[in-house]
Structure 1
């Protein structure tokens, strides 16, 4: 049995305080005119990661710095009407993502809010769901949320990432306390925001930690940032 290999990309960013997904509208069959994740066939002498980067650039014009990791492999026999196609999916997280520019076999490319997506071609809805859940889970145990932030950010900006990805509001005071007490999560720069209304906020960069100890656990509707933390008054220090 012969089969071909493709790559597909779940590309996430925060736009207008909402988790957003990069989609293309297909210009060729199958599923011509439908929305899909960016991706395409791997060339004969091409590495998988190189193929993912190339397809993202060709179809959407989006590239540059960001977090990129392999998400999983999908090979259900009937996932592609063209034949036996196995795809390797990647998860990309981008800060301050640019407007995409459609190219290659994409008729259009755009950012769409995750909360209101159109139907997707192939099995891309499943791949996207897996990618979003991977991002949500990794925000619990790693500093991955900083991949959505600029190089220097405030605690309020970091909290907005968690709120957007987890799709839930977080208590300001508890979040600030949790981040401040997690070793290596963020590092103060010694600088503050300027030229904005209100009290200047301290600026931070990602710290050296690879894992968050203790983790920032999603527990339930009333306590999303770890045991022992409950809803309380606002903290104006972030």
Structure 2
């Protein structure tokens, strides 16, 4: 509550953002330097991203901090003495608390090649379905999973060599999910081949059978099959219909 009422999350984020980005170890190139500089500016210009970061960070703090944290600051000389007042010590402690989940989330977003595209598309295409979709995916702990990450410090999280310049947020996540179900798709085709009536003379699936299998294997349903809400599937389907058309 104190972050909501007394200390603005946005001000804390602005103060700690560069440190959070420094926890991500990019490759030492001018392109990386320019990318970090751009992120530092553009993140603070994206209300939707700030809102999502705030909601996720506050949830993490609620789950990982205790109610007596103010007493902890007051009774710990290392936390209290470096600052001119108790309120300044509280603010410093809050900043150190908030930046922990933020640094982790930013790394996952960057690893999934989301941040840049999230900012761009949320500012250019302001429609309710898109905004709802972005918030839903962002706040899904299965997508933005930071549980296995070590505690943040400078250069803690190493970026992979391949960094995708994608046109739609979370595309890389969905591509990975689709790829995970390749075995399911191959098993489906194998079952169809067991019926001789589904095959042509060279033992391959006939064109019509294969096309029916493609239409029946709804990758949207596959993506959200594990522990997902039905409304997430419907939301993704509606969004994709808007962007790629109903017949594709």
Q: TM-score, normalised by structure 2?
A: 0.27
- Greater helix proportion: 2
Question: More strand by proportion, 1 or 2?
Answer: 1
Specify which structure has the bigger relative contact order, considering alpha-carbon pairs within 8 angstroms and separated by 6 or more residues.
2
- In terms of Rg, which structure is larger? 2
